Structure 1
Amino acid sequence: MLSRALLSCLAATLCILILSHPILSEETEYPLTISDSAGRTITIPMPVQRIIALSTDHAEAVMMLGDGDKIVGVSDNLKSKVEIFPSLKNKQGVGKWNEVNFEQIGEIARQGDTIVPDIIVLAYTYPDKPYGAENVAMGLKPFGNITVVGLDFYKPENLTQDVQLLGKILNRNDEAQDYLDWLDSSRTKITNAIKGDDIPNVYFESNNKGGLGELATYGMGSGIDGMIRQSGGINIAGDLEEMYPKVTWEWVITQNPSAIIRIQSSDKIGWDRSASQDTTTLEGIADEIIGRAGGEKIPAISDKDVHVIYWDMMFGMDSVVGQTYLAKILHPDADLHPKDVYREYLKFLGIEFPEERIFVYPPLDEN
């Protein structure tokens, strides 16, 4: 018979082995009842085999977790972004991201005369919009067996819970945690790099389609407002209660911003660095802002701190890339290397980083 001392030793050794061994995430069990990010209680009856993504954010999240091959339908705008979504260019379109074609989704979902409930539709929450999860679910109700899940991904403060929830739904809990560990590490690097720096006032412009009397910006509660704060800046529109307010150029001047950021999208990953249509367009945007009447009165223009930033990295799964670039703009001496962060992110998606592209204009000095 083993002695009490030997048993104690064996027990202690077993405990050490158990504690030192990584604990695997729990497998998702179905039927799965959850509360989505829209606050809706939904039940997913069986493992998900088919996914319809109504935005680039949703498609990118699914691909990040390793289930891109399950996407069977996409909003039309995804099909033009072939560099980031090469596998989706021939997928069935289901209308615009903000104008969903319910009949097309029903046709994709139907297999023969029935709809097997292994399909989900990923939509934004937006309770007051026709393309919000609740209204999309109502539009698909006549077809039956199609579960709509409300997830946003566009607010940095909610990104972790959105990713965890999607990981649970798709039984990709380990993949979700791998991404979240990288996300937390990347955010921590930003926080440490800008700690103790001065906090500049920032004006972030979406577009000027309404002219200088109706400039589109980002107010309280918007994803950009949160990102500016987390990047070590103060959003001059952060006290405006509208999430997406319109302001005048005269008002911007009174707020005396130290930096001006303007967004610009692209169907590619970033913009060509060399002389091209890209650089001509970007230079034109920057020059228009710099040349606005009265602009010489504010530090952003007098100090040449006007930047155009690649819009597609500012929201969703790669938002920490945009946050790193934004922090580098606001704190140019910070020990931050945005290209490295972007390179790491694209590696998650299995996409090679485009070395000759830029993501901020004028290009940043990252040395």
Structure 2
Amino acid sequence: MILRDHGRKKEQVFLALACIVLLLAAAPCWGKVFRDALNRTVVLDSPPQRIVSLAPNITEILYYLGLGERVAGVTQYSYYPPEAMKKPKVGSYIRVNAEKIIELKPDLVLGTMDGNSSHTIDLLGQAGIPVYVVNPRSVRGTIATIACISDLAGVKERGDEAAVLLTERLEKIVRKTTGLDRPTVFLQINIKPIMTVNSHTIHNDVIRLAGGKNMTGNLPITYPRISREEVLAGKPDVIIISSMERGGRFERARQEWLRWPSIPAVKHRRVYLVDSDLIDRPSPRIIRGLEIMASFIHPEVNWSGGREVEKDGAAK
């Protein structure tokens, strides 16, 4: 009887130990080492639960991945999705308030190489806060950044799935425009003064993937000012106005171009407006912007549910 009881106790102890081993095996042995766009090593002991975003596009990516509850702070102009506007503000993405970030006690800060200062990144690092810097410079680079952020947050499967879906939409556009003539596109990104982009921009990548040719791609300055006379001389087939300014001024800029019928884009009524957030923010919405741009540049293609355009040429 004693031996039987002793045997049962041994069996119970063995089962308990086996359960512990199984639980430990099932638990994620996290602790990951990452390398960011600045070639810095970033170590995370566990999936971050309090993330501060230092750029609007990063905020969009976090919400797209279903991580809104983990967002502890955002920068100015992080207004998409609308829920992001309720989060504590830590300044603009160019002028970040490091003290405010430290007060929020984040376990990860996500910054961007194109905007956030190295001084801010160093200050946060000295405070013991992990800072990971991204640098998406293209549409495909944006998709890769989404996957990377998902890995940082411990939701890699979500990011991988999102990357597949977004890439499928991108490749559909590339397939449909391959072999077609490339219309010359003038992209206006500011109303006064008139400004545009060269080839070293994400805007240029959008134009290229959408099947167009950037009229100002060869200019030496990344975001050059350009005169109306230079646009007239360039004879663009398509004019697309993308500006952070909205309302009447946005439409008036389009009407201003309609006064020049010698421009092919005007002659053939191919002057359009597009929400700047859709083509200059390296976020998941840039794929929607690419779809809209492709339908502007190649209206002859059946996009089967592409952009909706009002009669005045504005993309909804």
Counterpart of 1:287? 255
**2:253, 2:142 → 1: CA distance?**
31
Counterpart of 2:238? 259
Give a deviation string over 1:107-144, Cα, whole Å, max 9, x none.
Answer: 111xxxxxxxx611111113xx5x24x333123244x2
Tell me, yes or no, if the aligned pair for 2:273 and 2:315 is still in contact at 8 Å. no
Tell me, yes or no, if the aligned pair for 1:37 and 1:150 is still in contact at 8 Å. yes
Tell me, yes or no, if the aligned pair for 1:261 and 1:309 is still in contact at 8 Å. yes
Tell me, yes or no, if the aligned pair for 2:295 and 2:306 is still in contact at 8 Å. no
Counterpart of 1:14? none
Q: Look up the equivalent residue of 2:121 and give its one-letter code.
A: A
Give a deviation string over 1:273-329, Cα, whole Å, max 9, x none.
Answer: xxxxx4x454322112223xxx33220122221111011111321111101110100
**Corresponding position: 1:149 with 2:145:** no
Counterpart of 2:35? 35
**Corresponding position: 1:223 with 2:207:** no
1:196–1:339 Cα change, 3 Å: closer
1:236–1:66 Cα change, 3 Å: same
1:72 is paired with a residue of what secondary structure? strand
**2:311, 2:244 → 1: CA distance?**
11
**Corresponding position: 1:313 with 2:278:** yes
Q: Look up the equivalent residue of 2:81 and give its one-letter code.
A: F
Match of 2:223 among 227, 231, 244: 244
Q: Look up the equivalent residue of 2:57 and give its one-letter code.
A: D
| Unaligned 5+ runs, structure 1 | 1-26, 110-117, 272-277, 341-356
1:246 is paired with a residue of what secondary structure? coil
* Aligned residue pairs, count: 288
**Corresponding position: 1:335 with 2:286:** no
1:57 is paired with a residue of what secondary structure? helix
1:75 is paired with a residue of what secondary structure? coil
Tell me, yes or no, if the aligned pair for 2:73 and 2:90 is still in contact at 8 Å. yes
**1:359, 1:104 → 2: CA distance?**
43
Tell me, yes or no, if the aligned pair for 1:219 and 1:244 is still in contact at 8 Å. yes
**Corresponding position: 1:203 with 2:186:** yes
**2:158, 2:140 → 1: CA distance?**
20
Q: Which moved more, 1:147-156 or 1:182-191?
A: 147-156
Counterpart of 1:160? 143
Q: Which moved more, 1:177-186 or 1:226-235?
A: 177-186
1:203 is paired with a residue of what secondary structure? strand
**2:66, 2:98 → 1: CA distance?**
26
**Corresponding position: 1:179 with 2:162:** yes
Q: Look up the equivalent residue of 2:205 and give its one-letter code.
A: G
1:226 is paired with a residue of what secondary structure? helix
**Percent of matched pairs sharing the same residue:** 22
Tell me, yes or no, if the aligned pair for 2:143 and 2:167 is still in contact at 8 Å. no
Counterpart of 2:13? none
**Could you tell me how far 1:154 is from its partner in structure 2?**
5.4
1:108–1:99 Cα change, 3 Å: same
Counterpart of 2:53? 53
1:149–1:197 Cα change, 3 Å: same
1:151–1:361 Cα change, 3 Å: farther
Give a deviation string over 1:28-75, Cα, whole Å, max 9, x none.
Answer: 754322111233222223320101112221011111112110001111
Counterpart of 1:65? 65
With normalisation by structure 2, the TM-score equals 0.83
1:136–1:360 Cα change, 3 Å: farther
**1:86, 1:286 → 2: CA distance?**
28
Q: Look up the equivalent residue of 2:169 and give its one-letter code.
A: S
Match of 2:120 among 130, 133, 136: 136
**1:75, 1:360 → 2: CA distance?**
36
**2:200, 2:305 → 1: CA distance?**
25
**2:154, 2:62 → 1: CA distance?**
11
Counterpart of 1:346? none
**1:313, 1:120 → 2: CA distance?**
26
Match of 2:110 among 90, 110, 122: 122
1:217 is paired with a residue of what secondary structure? coil
Q: Look up the equivalent residue of 1:302 and give its one-letter code.
A: K
**2:52, 2:157 → 1: CA distance?**
22
Counterpart of 1:362? 313
1:38–1:241 Cα change, 3 Å: farther
**1:360, 1:77 → 2: CA distance?**
29
Larger radius of gyration: 2
Match of 1:85 among 48, 70, 81: 81
**1:312, 1:139 → 2: CA distance?**
30
Tell me, yes or no, if the aligned pair for 1:310 and 1:360 is still in contact at 8 Å. no
1:53–1:180 Cα change, 3 Å: same
